[in-house]
Amino acid sequence: MYDYRPFQVSTLFMLCIYLQLMSHMKANISGANIKKFRKQLELTQIDLAAALNVEYQINLDRSDISEIERGTRGVKDYELAAIAAIFEVSTDELIS
């Protein structure tokens, strides 16, 4: 009879390592550029959230903008396009 315990332990170990690595990955690559362009325009996070809401009916609050800029929250494609439009830059400039 085959003993499956060594396989189960190594699988569990690999899963734990994978989850630990994933927890350190950023949810987006545009956060730093969004922050840079926002500051260049002298906008607060609240200002950006308000502009997204008024101009594009995208309901984000200050904490959402903060999470995006820190890379802990992903950015949906339509959110990225709206942010780029507000900043008058291309989406490529936000993700490069």
Sign of CA dihedral 70, 71, 72, 77: positive
Residue 12 scores a pLDDT above 70 = no
Question: Which tens digit of pLDDT belongs to each residue from 30-64?
Answer: 999 999 999 999 999 999 999 999 999 999 999 99
Domain definitions of the chain by residue range: 31-95
Q: How confident is the model at residue 83 (pLDDT cuts 50, 70, 90)?
A: very high
Percentage with pLDDT > 70 across the chain: 74
pTM strictly above 0.85: no
Pick the CATH number of 31-95 from 3.30.70.260, 3.20.20.70, 1.20.90.10, 1.10.260.40: 1.10.260.40
Pick from 31, 41, 43: nearest CA to 75: 31
DSSP letters for 6-22: HHHHHHHHHHHHHHHHH
Banded model confidence at residue 2, pLDDT cuts 50, 70, 90: low
Please give the Cα distance from 38 to 32 (Å, whole number).
10
